[in-house]
C-alpha cells in the first residue's frame, strides 16, 4: 500500500503521533494520548462515543473502521 494512502499513517500524521505511538495508544486501551492531540470539541465527541457502548458499536461496524482495524491489528 502506498504510504500516502495508509489510513493508520494518515491518522497518526494528523494527530502528530508516530504510527508506533498511535498503535501503542490503541492497543493499550487508553486513548488519553490520542484525546490530548485532538481539538477539545473533537476529544469530547470521541470520549462520548467511547463511553456509549451502542454508539461505539455502530462506529466500529462501519467499513472505514473495519479497514482501519485491519491495518492496525493485521487481521487479528
d(CA 54, CA 24): 25
What residues does each domain of the chain span?
Answer: 3-71
This model's pTM is above 0.75: no
**Who's near 17: CB < 8 A, 6+ residues apart?**
25, 33, 34, 37
Which has the higher per-residue pLDDT, 21 or 75?
21
pLDDT for 41: 92
E strands, 1-76, in order:
none
pLDDT, tens only, 1-60: 555 667 778 888 888 888 888 888 878 877 787 888 888 998 898 888 878 888 888 888
Q: Say if CB 13 and CB 2 are below 8 A apart.
A: no
Which has the higher per-residue pLDDT, 75 or 40?
40
Amino acid at each position: 500500500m502506498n504510504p500516502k494512502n495508509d489510513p493508520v499513517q494518515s491518522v497518526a500524521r494528523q494527530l502528530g503521533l508516530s504510527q508506533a505511538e498511535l498503535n501503542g495508544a490503541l492497543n493499550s486501551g487508553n486513548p488519553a494520548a490520542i484525546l490530548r492531540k485532538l481539538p477539545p470539541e473533537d476529544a469530547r465527541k470521541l470520549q462520548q462515543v467511547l463511553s456509549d457502548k451502542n454508539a461505539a458499536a455502530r462506529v466500529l461496524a462501519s467499513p472505514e473502521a473495519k479497514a482501519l482495524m485491519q491495518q492496525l491489528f493485521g487481521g487479528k
